[in-house]
Structure formats: C-alpha cells, structure tokens
Amino acid sequence: MTKIVILTGAGISAESGLGTFRDIDGLWSRYDLDEVATPEGFARNPALVHEFYNARRRNAAEAIPNAAHAALARLEAARPGEVLIITQNIDDLHERAGSRNVLHMHGQLTRACCAACGHGWSAPAELHADTPCPACAAQATRPDIVWFGEFPYHMEEIWAAIRAAELFVAIGTSGSVYPAAAFVQDARRAGAHTLELNLEPSQTVSDFTEARHGRASAIVPAWVA
Ligand code: BV8
C-alpha cells in the first residue's frame, strides 16, 4: 500500500548534469517551448523536435544518477511496497539508481511511439520522423513524450496513490506545470503531510506543510537517512 508519494522534477537530475527548464540557463531559455514541446511544433517541424530529443537522449544516456536518486532507491528498498515515485522527468536516472516503482507522467526518452497507430516501443539512440513503426510500418514516429496540451500518463493511478498517501514529497520542481503542480493540494485534501525539498522556494511552496531548501544531492539523503 503506497504511503509515501514522491513527485520529482528536473532539479533532481540537475547535479547529474541534465539541464532544468526554468533556471537561468534552462532549456526554455535556449529553445522555444512552442516549437519543441507541443504537438503543433512537432507537426510543423518534426526534424527539429527529433533533434531536440535526440540530443537530450544522448545527454541522459551519459548522465550518472546522483546521491538524491540513490537515496530514493534506498528508501524504496527499506519500505517495500510503500513508496511511489511520480516523475515529470523523461530521463531514466531513477531506474538506473535502483528505483522500481516509478511512473513517468510526461513520458520517457527511452521510448518512441507511432503518431499513426499509437504503438509504443523502446527507442534507439536516434529517432527520426521516417523511422518506420514496428507495428504498422507508417513513417510517423515521435518521441514518447507528453507535450503541452497533451494528457499526462498514469493520471488515474497517480490520483489514487495521492488519495491514499500519508506523506507527499516534491523534489526539484518549480511547481509551474499542471496538473503536477496541483498534486500537493490533492495530497493535503487527503490528509497527507506535505514536504518540499528544492534548491529554492517553488511557486507552490506555500501549499506545503514543510519545506527544506538546498541541493538535492545533500537534502534528499539527509531526509531519507
Ligand atoms: C494537461 C515535455 C490536460 C517533456 C513537459 C491548469 C490545469 C491543467 C492544465 C493546465 C493548467 N494551466 C495550464 C495548463 C496547461 C499546461 C501547463 O501546465 N502549462 C504551464 C506552462 C502553465 N499543462 C499541460 O499541457 C499538461 N497537460 O494539462 O492535460 C489535463 C488537465 C487536468 C488534468 C489532467 C490533464 C502537460 C504538461 C506536460 C508538458 N511537458 N515537458 C520534456 O521535454 O521534458 S513539461 C516540463 O516542465 C518537463 O516535463 C518538466 O518536468 C516540467 C516541470 O518542470 P520542472 O521539472 O519543475 O523543472 P523546472 O526547470 O521548472 O524547475 C526545476 C526546479 O529544480 C527549480 O525549482 C529549481 O530551483 C530546482 N533545482 C535546480 N537545481 C536543483 C534544484 N533542486 C534541488 N537540487 C538542485 N541541484
């Protein structure tokens, strides 16, 4: 029975060298969100979008899980069946650190899907729009990523877990993207204790019962210990 629900964002992977979105030199300061993280942008220029995600897939493959990812994997091992990680991140650093119960609500760099038939499959290092779909052979391949305006994955499972949670922890997220940014309110309504662990106060820090600020690689192991 899940008792501890943990929401992670780009900040937990920052010390593994993967860019965040809204920090000073973040991804959205270098790329136009509308061009690379919306279905309309993909329809306009699939090659640009694939280039954006191929670069992030290469970076993620070279990145190493940090002490924060490792601490969450230790927590799950110590509390079998009680810990769920809901990540907004599309990297696989939680899994590579040893976490097993992970839901990628915004999709995964390691997956591709077919815009024609919806079939999903493990992505090779490089994806291109004309990569043929293994199921229907259409050349309409897209990264298996949830873009702005698309419905996040696993929402029913996420809301059920939050309703049953005793503790909700948000790590490394600015609280600027919905519906993830509202999970803390859902958790409080369910009676859970809520804790923010972030480099600095997020946009939703006032929704949390408790907040600790600092680098994830320091404050997450200290919290798990
Ligand atoms: C949807 C693609 C319908 C993958 C992403 C109200 C209700 C519902 C929807 C909306 C709403 N208002 C607006 C919307 C629409 C929209 C939205 O939220 N827009 C925003 C801009 C206002 N939402 C959507 O379209 C979503 N779909 O709503 O469907 C629906 C409605 C209701 C219920 C269900 C469904 C789809 C959103 C998904 C979009 N895809 N990315 C990719 O390219 O990666 S979002 C993108 O932002 C990433 O996924 C990322 O994870 C996410 C959130 O960003 P963060 O992870 O928080 O990263 P950020 O850089 O912002 O912050 C990093 C934080 O870390 C900072 O606070 C920093 O201080 C901290 N940090 C940095 N270093 C460290 C650190 N902390 C600790 N240690 C460190 N070392």
Q: Compute, in angstroms, the gap from residue 134 CA to the centroid of ligand 1.
A: 31
Pairing of strands 210-213, 193-198: parallel
Residue 128: predicted pLDDT: 93
Element (H, E) at 51: helix 46-62
Residue 191: predicted pLDDT: 97
Place 110 in a pLDDT band, splitting at 50, 70 and 90.
very high
- Give nearest CA residue, ligand 1 atom 57: 173
Annotated binding site for substrate: 53, 56
Residue 163: predicted pLDDT: 95
* 69 annotated active-site: no
3-state secondary structure of 124: coil
Element (H, E) at 94: helix 93-97
Q: Where are the domains of the chain?
A: 1-18+65-106+152-225, 25-62+109-145
Is the pLDDT reported for residue 222 higher than 90? yes
Relative to the CA of 175, which ligand 1 atom is closest?
57
Annotated binding site: 9-28, 53, 56, 88-91, 114, 117, 133, 136, 172-174, 216
Provide DSSP, 132-171: PPTTT--S-EEEEE--TTSPPTTHHHHHHHHHH-SEEEEE
**Pocket residue to mutate for ligand 1, from 21, 92, 184, most atoms within 8 A of Cβ:** 21
- Please give the model's pTM, rounded to 2 decimal places: 0.95
pLDDT, average across residues 85-103? 98
**Which range, of 19-28, 36-45, 159-168, 189-198, averages the lowest pLDDT?**
19-28
For residue 28, give the DSSP letter: H
Beta carbon of 211 within 6 Å of any ligand 1 atom: no
pLDDT in tens, 136-190: 999 999 999 999 999 999 999 999 999 999 999 999 999 999 999 999 999 999 9
- The complex's ipTM works out to 0.94
Place 24 in a pLDDT band, splitting at 50, 70 and 90.
confident
Residues in the chain: 225
- 25-62+109-145 adopts what CATH topology? SIR2/SIRT2 'Small Domain' (3.30.1600)
Please determine whether the domains at 1-18+65-106+152-225 and 25-62+109-145 fall in the same fold group of CATH: no
- 1-18+65-106+152-225 adopts what CATH topology? Rossmann fold (3.40.50)
